[in-house]
Amino acid sequence: MLNKFVVIDLETTGNLPKKGDKIIQFAAVVIENGTITEQFSSLINPQKAIPAFIEELTGINDEMVKGAPLFSEITEKIQSLLEEAYFVAHNVLFDLSFLQEELIQAGHEGFYGPVLDTVEMARILYPTADGYKLTDLAEKENLRHDRPHQADSDAQVTAELFLILLKRLTALPSLTLRQITHLSGGLKGDLQQLLDELLIKRDKRKLDNLSETIEIFHDIALRKNQIELKDVATESDFSYPITEEEKSDVVKQGFDVFEKRSGQFKMMDTVYQALHSERHALIEAGTGVGKSLGYLLPLAYFTKIHKHPIVVSTHTIQLQEQILKKEIPLLTAILPFKIRTVLLKGRNHYLSLEKFSQTLTDENDNYDTTLTKMQILVWLTETETGDKDELNLSSGGLIYWNKIKNEATVYSQNQQWQEKDFYLKAKRAAHDTDIIITNHSLLLSDIKGEGSILPNFEYVVIDEGHHLEKVAGQFFGHSLDYLSTRLLLGQFGVFEQKQLFYDLEKLLSQTTVKKLNFQTSEINQLVIDMNYEMDEFFKMIALFAKTKLPKNKGFNRVKVRYTHSDGGKEGNGLKHCAERFAFLLKDLHAKVIERLDLINNEIQALSIEQKHKIEEINLFLKELSELRDTIMNCFIKESKDVKWIEMDTRSPQNVTTFIAQPASVASSLKKFFFQKKKSVILTSATLTVNNSFDYMMKEIGMDNDSPIQMIIPSPFEYNKQVQLFIPEDLPEVNTVTLDDYVIAITEHIITIAEATKGRMLILFTAYDMLKKTYELIKESGFLDEFVLIAQGITSGSRTRLTRNFQRYDKAILLGTSSFWEGVDIPGEDLSCLVIVRLPFSPPDEPLTEAKCQLIVQNGGNPFSEYSLPEAILRFKQGFGRLIRTENDRGVMFVFDKRIITTKYGKSFLQSIPSVPIKKGTIDELVLQIQPWLN
């Protein structure tokens, strides 16, 4: 058994050793018998200039390597280090390829021993990590990493990480270790060899390594359910703390240093009053009020005293996780009684253990599937929920997840699978809990009564309540896109592709049925025709959209409205295409049902695997039926829904989406939700316009005569923490072309960035303007020393982009849409916020246009009743990004001069806390930035 591991890290002049890139720094850390025994590092003279970007990344320059040895002068040392050892590196193929090339060029043999990749190992052993970069993992394990991108520092950190990974490996149950070993043959590194050695060692010592927290179920090691003690408190044991002193006595139990927040206490009383009096409520709570605890504490008392479960609904997964991992533990620490909480998501979020177990023996998996299986095997020893959102899956891993996700099933091997089923466990827990945390979409599924996962509830708190109307629009509407449709039909496939159609015919051949009216070849042709019509259908959607585009608009991403009365060659052609496609979908559905009926006549004779295959075909039929219904509702039946096409003109067919939504959800929400529930409490930092809830109540259908209304301002001293600057030397946004406006604002952004040294968030209302601004900043070269991060250009999710922004001192983040809210960047990481233009929705945006038309039909003013209040709420959300704690300081620039040149501009300024406002040229304003921020 090899007990020697040599952790290598290299810095190089580029990425391509075959094209002449060379090593400029080599570092190795030797680990023997679990201990670091030797370290070696050296700069290397590459005999070529070091590129500027490499110098900036590593801090290594030509002067530093001038007197350094050539690689050939240290090859014997390197080979002696690597003798009879594992070669270990973070992304091992990169370091190995460089080392091989350099060794061969120096006249030596390359390294041909076993290799291990710490990226690969980390993905398996940290299945829930946010990222797998060395800096991410070092931060996760609190490893000191002072000089990233310098080989000696990187090698040291990688070695420390590797030792932790080894410990995690050896802590796994023997069963899990064997299953991972079986799967590891297809990995980049030689993990299988290491695992075989570990298992041999473990077998010799006759160790199983099964901890008390693990149980074995159907040959899978699972984390045991944590048994909670039942709370025996009765109503007489406690009552809601009425006075501020009583509330202080309760809340301070959870804090080392307690600071009373009067606004939070006021919110607690308002929530409790609404629940107790069975009234709806709207509560706007500014940043810093402590909103989550402000509603959680009173509802905990209410549910415990009155024995009614309460639902807490949020829009984002981030807030759900924050409530569960931060706020609930705090609540538990301060309450004089136990509280039971469960997080509920849609069924497809949960793993099906039974399906996963069946796929473990599949052969010919690709790399992503193999790695994902290994991740899940480790994750199952840790997870209590089986919730996919805990996992960090690759795109290939997500494809595999679709095969093992939880879905409604008729057939199950035995009752035991259901007892361990994560979804059913969550559903059972929800029926025996106090607080249910969920999302707006799942909350609304209760309205349709489609067998919702939620138990009966009459009391609900809706956090991030300003999103309810938008989510309801999507929920009551329809959506249709090319890629999803193609993927669905691809599940059935033609016979030769050996998908569900092949499985169906195979099942049929195993029954005693001899003859069918509709033969295999005919269904095969039907599938071919259907795929052809699908392509034609989406081509017609794109063609229709192109005919409606204004000329010379120059945007790539477009939205085009569609109405049932649209005629012309393209409009009529689209309807005919939809009819043909819908007819073929119905025909296929009927033919598959005919076959299934025959098979079901002999269901008792089928194996459990065959029954599962029937279940899979039934699920496909359900989705096929839903697809046909969507096409019928969108194109063939007349409806009042607003319909539009979203597409990218550069690749119209592949990224085309058709959407239908009601122009107003107010009446549906009022009838099916607000009138059915005893108390619905909406809360958010942005619910009012000019200190009134009228706009929000009208949008969501809440009667304005009954709800409790409460505005709780932020405790922050904004007038001492923020200065608002309005440059007067910019053109009016609507008086110049897009290109001219971009040139003007880019010059201002460069000037401001140099004054603030980055730490800027720039909010746009349209992606095209963001992209043009980003390109112009790059092209200018003035901000080359800054890290530019742009939504839609820099890869990664909103969370990842935000985290990268916080990593660098001189960083500028350009965002649109989702970046106007939910981005939390406290402290000096964000010191400057720029709002490029007031966030009005474009008047030709289909949903905006339809809402405005509806207001006109009812005799109203669309600008004052919809466009302005919607923009003000968005503006308030943007403003809220700047100050996140009481110690933050920052400057805010508004480039849109309409905020001071129009009557309605005052409404924007009145909607945010009172702050000093400075007007002037950009040169005058930047002189005030430095003294303020320092």
Asked if 87 and 116 touch (Cβ cutoff 8 Å), the reply is yes
Residue 865 has a pLDDT of 95
Q: pLDDT of 776-806, one tens digit each?
A: 999 999 998 898 999 988 877 777 788 888 8
Return the minimum-mean-pLDDT range out of 391-405, 675-689, 747-761: 391-405
Surface-to-core class of residue 462, CB atoms within 10 Å of its CB (0-12 exposed, 13-18 middle, 19+ buried): buried
User: Does pLDDT of 412 surpass 60?
Assistant: no
Q: What is the CA radius of gyration of the chain?
A: 31
Q: pTM for the complete prediction?
A: 0.83
Phi, psi (degrees; rounded to nearest 5) at 549: -75, 140
pLDDT of residue 434: 93
Long-range contacts for 412-415 (Cβ within 8 Å, ≥24 apart)? Answer: 412/354, 413/354, 413/608
- pLDDT classification of 332: cutoffs 50, 70, 90: very high
- pLDDT at residue 232 in the model: 46
H or E element: which one contains 599?
A: helix 568-600
Confidence tier at 489 by pLDDT (50, 70, 90): very high
Q: At what angle do helices 118-125 and 92-105 cross, to 10 degrees?
A: 170
User: Residue 581 above 90 pLDDT?
Assistant: yes
Cα-based angle 778, 834, 699 (whole degrees, multiple of 5): 125
**Predicted local distance difference test score (pLDDT) of residue 638:** 84
Q: Pairing between strand 459-462 and 478-481? A: unpaired
pLDDT value, residue 322: 86
Which three-class secondary structure string do you get for 624-653?
A: HHHHHHHHHHHHHCCCCCEEEEEEECCCCC
pLDDT at 553 over 80: no
Please state, for a pLDDT cut of 90, what percent of the chain lies above it: 55
pLDDT tens digits along 866-895: 999 999 999 999 999 999 888 889 999 999
Q: What percent of the chain has pLDDT over 70?
A: 94
E strand residue ranges, 315-386: 341-343
Most confident of 70-74, 238-242, 733-737, 905-909: 905-909
Give yes or no for residue 569 having a pLDDT over 90: no
Residue 145 has pLDDT above 80, yes or no: no
Average pLDDT over residues 682-696: 94
Banded model confidence at residue 821, pLDDT cuts 50, 70, 90: confident
Rounded to whole angstroms, what are the CA distances from 696 to 138, 221, 505, 700?
A: 45, 50, 55, 6
At residue 513 the predicted structure's pLDDT band, cuts being 50, 70 and 90, is: low
pLDDT of residue 681: 97
Q: List pLDDT tens digits, range 116-129.
A: 999 999 999 999 99
CA angle, residues 927, 929, 933, in degrees to nearest 5: 145
Strand partners, 661: 642
| Predicted pLDDT at 109 | 84
Q: How confident is the model at residue 209 (pLDDT cuts 50, 70, 90)?
A: low
Say if strands 478-481 and 657-661 run parallel, antiparallel, or are unpaired: antiparallel
How far is C-alpha 156 from the geometric centre of its chain's CA atoms? 32
The per-residue pLDDT for 236 is 47
Say how far apart CA 676 and CA 837 lie, in whole Å: 41
Mean pLDDT of 135-148: 85
Q: What is the mean pLDDT of residues 71-94?
A: 92
Write down the pLDDT at residue 235: 45
Confidence of residue 639 (pLDDT cuts 50, 70, 90): confident
Q: Count helices and strands (H / E) in the chain.
A: 39, 25
3-state secondary structure 284-307: EECCCCCHHHHHHHHHHHHHHHHC
State yes or no: pLDDT of 229 exceeds 50: no
Q: Is the pLDDT of residue 598 over 50?
A: yes
Residue 187: which residues within 8 A CB-CB, separation 6 or more?
Answer: 117, 120, 367, 370, 371
* pLDDT in the model for residue 902: 94
Q: How confident is the model at residue 725 (pLDDT cuts 50, 70, 90)?
A: very high
Mean pLDDT of all residues belonging to the chain: 88
Q: What is the pLDDT of residue 570?
A: 85
Cα–Cα distance measured from residue 23 to residue 18, given in angstroms and rounded to the nearest whole number: 12
User: Is a pLDDT exceeding 50 seen at residue 363?
Assistant: yes
Q: State mean pLDDT over 259-272.
A: 93
